[in-house]
A = this chain, B = another copy of it.
Amino acid sequence: MLEENKVNHYLDFFDLAPEELMSLFSLAKEKVLKEGEIYVKEGSTTGKLAYIKSGLIRCFLLKENGEETTVLLRWEDQFFTAYDTVLFNQASRFTYQAMEPTVLLEADYQVFMEFLNKNSKFSKAKDYFLISMLAEMMERVESFVLLNPEERYLRLLKDKPNIVQRCPDKYIATLLGITPVSLSRIRKRLANSPIAVSKKMK
């Protein structure tokens, strides 16, 4: 289960009765991951939906040359799925790995969605999470078309400082669409001219 303050937040925010929220949780089972543990491996076809109670999950793709590219990070209070499995019915091209000790609530995607569809009160919650995810992806697309790598890094630092801290730089680099070497150079540039930082942050 969730902590009491989160439970109350969801009850209030989505206007649910306690029994309704409980019936949702009854569909999910808890899963504990150690730091570094793989949750979904590339090639997997399990259509699970997971809610992150605590921790940090990294979604990455293994390229032909053996290098990893981090595509997505998900953290506490967010949902995630192996999205090409669930949306396109394909084997997952990505691997999902815990970056920290992580606790998930896991349910079958189809079962969960059908359950949500049966009760219209859940539909608001479903929309909320879908739209949150969509908004986040739009913001990311924006950051790619509007900002250069240095500006993207500064924005990420500003918007999600604790996520940057919890994740090695090499993963942050590929998340930003650049190489770890390049990120290191950007960090050096910024350290040498802190004026530039505040100017760009405005």
Chain A contacts to B: CB under 8 angstroms: 61, 63, 69-72, 83, 87-88, 113, 117, 120, 123-124, 126-127, 130-131, 133-135, 137-138, 140-142, 144-146, 174-177
**What does DSSP make chain A's interface, helix, strand, loop or mixed?**
helix
Assess the B146–A69 pair: CB atoms within 8 A: yes
Copies of this chain: 2
Nearest CB to that of A94 among chain B residues? B142
CA distance A127 to B174 in the complex (A): 31
Q: Give chain B nearest CB distance to A92 CB in angstroms.
A: 13
Nearest CB on B from A152, distance (A): 10
State how many angstroms separate the Cβ of A84 from the closest Cβ of chain B. 9
Which residues of B lie under 8 Å from residue A127 when comparing CB positions?
A: 113, 126, 130
Instruction: Give every chain B residue within 8 A of A126 (Cβ-Cβ).
Output: 127
Bound Cα distance A87, B63 (Å)? 35
Q: How far is the CA of A176 from the CA of B131 in the complex (A)?
A: 24
Query: By the criterion CB–CB under 8 Å, are B141 and A71 in contact?
Result: yes
Measured CA separation A183–B145 after assembly (Å) = 14
Contact, CB under 8 Å: B131 / A131: no
The smallest beta-carbon distance between A91 and chain B, in angstroms, is 16
* A83-B135, A120-B117, A137-B134 as given contacts; A144 in contact with B88, CB under 8 Å: no
